[in-house]
């Protein structure tokens, strides 16, 4: 066949996703040829331990521990090692040799993305990373291509399956955070060390990638405001539901006006209250979903499995078909667009709604005092719910106030909370949660 090419594919990493990629490539090679017009040959799989047990198994003769040699002569390199090194060095080496690279490495992209995209552009190679955010969910390509003629204004993403599983279990089964985490660990949704998930490091990396892409702006990982779910209590989840909300760990990427018709980018990850009628509120268990708002397209949502070996392999193989087609038709890759490079905004410049839960002394005038305090700090109260608890063992009775605010600046909210904590009638500020999706 004229123009038919046999493409050499090198796979780096033989973990769960890598083993699934290898297995599918070997099983469906002819089908890929039909879809791409190119033969796709898996020339080898670089692993650390040749003898590790893999599911599905990878033929022994494909395995090597010499990743650097494997890259030489490959047309396409798939990096599924994870982490920063040696992944960064190997990806740069592959790109510099002119190979297209497919990666599912969110940490690498969020940390070294600009360097990698620059290297790719220099040699006309392409860097694909659909698997880095949302597992099987097509979100990178829709943002980069489908919405390329629109302007994204906001992204609300449930991008970490572990924390969604935990929060969903707290909501639907009234589990404590500890019990829900234990169950997530038992089912394999959470790692032995769950820090990356529950402290939202994983979600912050994905938020940086999404915001960079959506706003054509380099968003450094360290600029992403990050709060995990460790302080979320069952009481908060219950009172959220009673008020018509569900608690989700959200990645929020917003284009915000900064005056004179200019815009900046806010990227943050934190637990948030979502109204029960919002499509994101129906995302259960370990599923992921990305809700995108754009000027012309309006609201879109992309939903599916956010992790898993075969699921993530599907995204990698979709990228592989794209890369193979590009090799067949020729032409350089499309550089990552950062033409807008909007200013990065600190969390203090964000304006959103809040729900604040306070324990206060149950005495006349407290509500008026609290309301005055909010007003003095420029935060407008939308609603207040009060419940009174009898004092136990002779203690004075106390009241719980749940206060919903209108949209307020983070800075105004912060000074309000500081003032509440110093106020004599306030026993404690139990929680402060942002409300998104209204």
Show which residues are catalytic: 206
In the complex, what is the shortest distance from the CB of residue 140 to a second copy, in angstroms, rounded to a whole number? 8
State the Cα–Cα distance between residues 208 and 221, nearest whole angstrom.
6
Q: Which is nearer to a second copy, 110 or 140 (CB)?
A: 140
Q: Which is nearer to a second copy, 151 or 367 (CB)?
A: 151
State the Cα–Cα distance between residues 206 and 132, nearest whole angstrom.
7
Contacts of 427 (CB under 8 A, 6+ apart): 358, 359, 360, 361, 398
Q: Which is nearer to a second copy, 106 or 287 (CB)?
A: 287
Residues near a second copy (CB under 8 A): 20, 24, 28, 31-32, 34-36, 130, 136-138, 141-142, 145-151, 216, 279, 282, 294-305, 308, 310-311, 313-322, 325-326, 329-334, 337, 339-340
In the complex, what is the shortest distance from the CB of residue 435 to a second copy, in angstroms, rounded to a whole number? 20
Burial label for 347, CB within 10 Å (0-12, 13-18, 19+), is: middle
Gyration radius of the chain over CA positions: 25
Cβ distance 112 to 132 under 8 Å? no
In the complex, what is the shortest distance from the CB of residue 125 to a second copy, in angstroms, rounded to a whole number? 12
State the Cα–Cα distance between residues 41 and 30, nearest whole angstrom.
10
Q: Which is nearer to a second copy, 6 or 230 (CB)?
A: 6
Cβ distance 57 to 63 under 8 Å? no
Q: Which 3 state secondary structure label does DSSP give 72?
A: coil
In the complex, what is the shortest distance from the CB of residue 351 to a second copy, in angstroms, rounded to a whole number? 25
Rounded to the nearest 5°, which phi and psi values hold at 153?
-105, -30
Helix 29-36 crosses helix 16-27 at what angle (to 10 degrees)?
80
Cβ distance 246 to 276 under 8 Å? yes
Q: Which is nearer to a second copy, 410 or 436 (CB)?
A: 436
In the complex, what is the shortest distance from the CB of residue 123 to a second copy, in angstroms, rounded to a whole number? 14
């Amino acid at each position: 066949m004229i123009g038919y090419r046999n493409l050499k594919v090198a796979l780096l990493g033989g973990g769960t996703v890598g083993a699934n990629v290898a297995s599918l490539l070997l099983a469906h090679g002819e089908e890929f040829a039909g879809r791409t017009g190119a033969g796709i040959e898996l020339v080898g799989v670089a692993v650390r331990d040749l003898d590790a047990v893999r599911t599905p198994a990878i033929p022994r003769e494909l395995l090597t521990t010499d990743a650097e040699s494997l890259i030489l002569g490959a047309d396409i390199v798939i990096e599924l090692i994870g982490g920063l090194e040696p992944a960064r060095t190997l990806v740069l080496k592959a790109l510099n040799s002119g190979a297209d690279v497919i990666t599912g490495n969110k940490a690498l992209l969020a940390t070294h993305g600009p360097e990698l995209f620059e290297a790719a552009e220099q040699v006309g190679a392409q860097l694909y990373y659909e698997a880095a955010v949302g597992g099987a969910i097509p979100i990178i390509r829709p943002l980069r291509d489908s919405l390329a003629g629109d302007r994204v204004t906001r992204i609300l993403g449930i991008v970490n399956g572990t924390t969604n599983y935990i929060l969903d279990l707290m909501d639907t089964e009234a589990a404590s955070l500890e019990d829900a985490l234990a169950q997530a660990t038992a089912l394999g949704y959470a790692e032995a060390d769950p820090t990356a998930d529950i402290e939202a490091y994983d979600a912050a990396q994905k938020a940086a990638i999404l915001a960079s892409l959506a706003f054509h702006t380099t968003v450094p990982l360290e600029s992403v405001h990050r709060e995990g779910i460790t302080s979320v209590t069952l009481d908060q989840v219950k009172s959220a539901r009673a008020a018509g909300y569900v608690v989700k760990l959200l990645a929020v990427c917003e284009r915000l006006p900064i005056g004179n018709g200019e815009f900046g980018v806010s990227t943050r990850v934190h637990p948030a209250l979502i109204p029960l009628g919002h499509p994101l509120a129906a995302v259960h268990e370990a599923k992921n979903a990305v809700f995108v708002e754009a000027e012309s397209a309006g609201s879109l949502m992309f939903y599916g499995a956010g992790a898993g070996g075969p699921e993530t392999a599907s995204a990698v193989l979709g990228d592989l078909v794209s890369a193979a087609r590009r090799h067949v038709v020729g032409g350089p890759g499309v550089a990552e667009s950062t033409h807008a490079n909007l200013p990065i905004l600190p969390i203090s410049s964000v304006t959103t709604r809040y729900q604040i839960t306070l324990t206060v002394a149950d005495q006349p005038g407290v509500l008026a005092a609290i309301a005055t305090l909010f007003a003095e700090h420029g935060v407008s109260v939308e609603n207040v719910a009060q419940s009174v608890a009898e004092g136990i063992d002779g203690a004075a009775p106390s009241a719980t106030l749940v206060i919903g605010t209108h949209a307020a600046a983070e800075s105004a909210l912060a000074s309000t909370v500081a003032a509440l904590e110093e106020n004599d009638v306030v026993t404690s500020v139990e929680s402060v949660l942002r409300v998104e999706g209204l």
